[in-house]
C-alpha cells in the first residue's frame, strides 16, 4: 500500500485549501469606483456615486435626442452599473426617463426628482401623485425642493416641507432635501434640520457655481466658501450630491477640466456622489473613468 494514505491525503488537502484561501485574500481593499453604492448620510438611502442627470439645459439636450435614444442611453448606463437617475418637474425629461426605465426592476435603481415650490393653491400630495404618474413610478427615493435661491427659503417652503414629510408617511417618497443656487440660499443649509440631502454646485473653476445671486455665472472666488459649507453639512450628517461638475457645459471641450472637476468634487469638497448629464455612451464611459481616477 502506498505510504500516501487516505488520512495524509485529507490532511494535505485541508492544508492546501487553507493556504489557497489565505492566498486569495486581497492584500488591499478594493478600490472605490463610480458605480459603488454609498449611503447618503442620515437619509440611509444608498445610491451609486455617479448619477445619470437629465437636466442639461433644463432637459432640452436629452429631449432633442428623442425617446429611442434616451432609452438606449439610460439602459446603457444601467448596464454599466449606474443605478442612480435624476430628473425634475421643471425639466423636459421626467416622462422620457420614466419610459426609459420602464421594465427594469424598481429595486435595481434609485430615482430622484425635484418639485417646484412656487405653485399656488396646489395640494402637495396631488402634485407628488402627478409626478409619480409622469415618471411611471410608485415612489421616489429622493425628492428635493427645486432651485432654492433666496435666503428665506427654509421659511417660505414650509408647506412643501410638510408635504414631503406627509408623502414619506405615505411611502411614496423615501427621503428629501433641497437643491440650492446662490450663496444666500446655500448659507441657510447648515443648521436647517429638515434637510437630509443637499444638491450643490461644485467644480474646481467655479464655473456656474454659487455667487451673490442665483445666476448661472462663474464665481471662482467663492469656491472655498462652497467647500466649507459642504464640509459642515457632512458633519451634520447630510448626504451631499454634487452638480455642475462639467460647468453646465462649459467644460464640454476640455477633458482636462472634466478630470480636474471630478477630482475636486470628491477629494477636496468630499461630496458623496455627483450627477452628470449625458448625451452619448462615450460621455458615460468617460465620467465613470474620471470618477474612478478621482477616487483612486
Residue 14 belongs to some domain of the structure:
no
Task: Dump strand ranges (E) for the chain.
Answer: 37-39, 46-48, 50-53, 84-86, 110-115, 140-148, 173-180, 197-201, 239-243, 273-277
pLDDT value at position 5? 42
Domain that holds residue 273: 32-295
pLDDT value at position 257? 97
Distance CA 262, CA 247 (A): 11
Distance CA 98, CA 187 (A): 34
Residue 8 belongs to some domain of the structure:
no
Q: How confident is the model at residue 294 (pLDDT cuts 50, 70, 90)?
A: very high
pLDDT value at position 14? 39
The enclosing domain of 155 has a CATH number of: 3.20.20.100
Distance CA 203, CA 259 (A): 10
pLDDT value at position 30? 81
| pTM of the model as a whole | 0.90
Distance CA 256, CA 157 (A): 39
Distance CA 142, CA 284 (A): 22
- Based on the structure, what is the number of domains in the chain? 1
Residue 16 belongs to some domain of the structure:
no
pLDDT at 223 over 50: yes
Do the beta carbons of residue 38 and residue 241 sit within 8 Å?
no
Residue 3 belongs to some domain of the structure:
no
Distance CA 275, CA 151 (A): 25
pLDDT value at position 28? 56
Residue 239 belongs to some domain of the structure:
yes
Average pLDDT of 72-85? 98
Distance CA 117, CA 224 (A): 29
pLDDT at 196 over 50: yes
Do the beta carbons of residue 150 and residue 185 sit within 8 Å?
yes
Distance CA 86, CA 103 (A): 17
Taking residue 3's Cβ as centre, other Cβ atoms within 10 Å add up to 5
Do the beta carbons of residue 284 and residue 80 sit within 8 Å?
yes
pLDDT value at position 3? 41
Residue 70 belongs to some domain of the structure:
yes
Q: Which of 224, 229, 172, 220 is nearest to 199 (CA)?
A: 229
Beta carbons within 8 Å of 124's beta carbon, 6+ residues apart: 115, 159, 160, 162, 163, 164, 166, 167
Average pLDDT of 218-236? 98
Do the beta carbons of residue 241 and residue 41 sit within 8 Å?
no
Average predicted confidence (pLDDT) for the chain: 92
Residue 10 belongs to some domain of the structure:
no
Q: Of the given ranges (24-33, 226-235, 239-248), which has the lowest mean pLDDT?
A: 24-33
pLDDT value at position 120? 86
Q: How confident is the model at residue 119 (pLDDT cuts 50, 70, 90)?
A: confident
Q: Which of 203, 225, 220 is nearest to 271 (CA)?
A: 203
pLDDT value at position 215? 87
Residue 279 class from Cβ within 10 Å (0-12 exposed, 13-18 middle, 19+ buried)? middle
Average pLDDT of 268-278? 98
Place of cell 428665506: 152
Residue 289 belongs to some domain of the structure:
yes
Beta carbons within 8 Å of 65's beta carbon, 6+ residues apart: 73, 279
Amino acid at each position: 500500500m502506498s505510504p500516501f494514505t487516505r488520512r495524509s491525503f485529507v490532511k494535505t488537502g485541508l492544508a492546501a485549501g487553507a493556504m489557497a484561501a489565505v492566498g486569495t485574500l486581497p492584500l488591499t481593499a478594493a478600490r472605490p469606483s463610480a458605480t459603488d453604492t454609498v449611503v447618503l448620510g442620515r437619509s440611509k438611502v444608498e445610491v451609486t456615486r455617479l448619477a445619470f442627470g437629465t437636466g442639461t439645459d433644463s432637459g432640452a439636450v436629452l429631449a432633442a435626442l428623442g425617446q429611442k435614444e434616451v432609452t438606449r442611453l439610460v439602459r446603457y448606463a444601467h448596464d454599466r452599473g449606474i443605478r442612480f437617475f435624476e430628473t425634475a418637474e421643471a425639466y423636459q425629461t421626467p416622462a422620457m426617463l420614466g419610459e426609459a426605465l420602464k421594465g427594469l426592476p424598481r429595486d435595481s435603481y434609485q430615482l430622484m426628482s425635484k418639485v417646484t415650490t412656487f405653485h399656488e393653491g396646489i395640494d402637495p400630495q396631488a402634485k407628488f401623485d402627478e409626478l409619480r404618474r409622469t415618471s411611471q413610478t410608485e415612489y421616489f427615493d429622493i425628492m428635493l425642493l427645486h432651485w432654492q435661491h433666496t435666503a428665506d427659503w427654509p421659511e417660505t417652503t414650509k408647506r412643501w416641507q410638510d408635504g414631503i414629510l406627509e408623502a414619506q408617511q405615505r411611502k411614496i417618497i423615501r427621503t428629501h432635501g433641497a437643491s440650492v443656487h446662490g450663496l444666500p440660499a446655500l448659507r441657510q443649509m447648515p443648521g436647517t434640520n429638515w434637510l437630509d440631502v443637499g444638491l450643490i454646485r461644485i467644480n474646481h473653476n467655479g464655473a456656474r457655481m454659487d455667487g451673490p445671486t442665483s445666476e448661472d455665472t462663474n464665481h471662482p472666488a467663492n469656491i472655498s466658501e462652497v467647500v466649507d459649507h459642504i464640509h459642515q453639512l457632512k458633519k451634520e450628517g447630510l448626504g451631499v450630491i454634487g452638480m455642475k461638475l462639467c460647468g453646465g457645459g462649459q467644460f464640454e471641450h476640455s477633458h482636462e477640466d472634466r478630470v480636474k472637476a471630478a477630482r475636486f468634487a470628491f477629494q477636496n469638497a468630499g461630496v458623496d456622489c455627483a450627477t452628470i448629464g449625458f448625451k452619448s455612451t462615450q460621455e458615460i464611459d468617460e465620467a465613470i473613468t474620471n470618477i474612478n481616477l478621482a477616487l483612486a
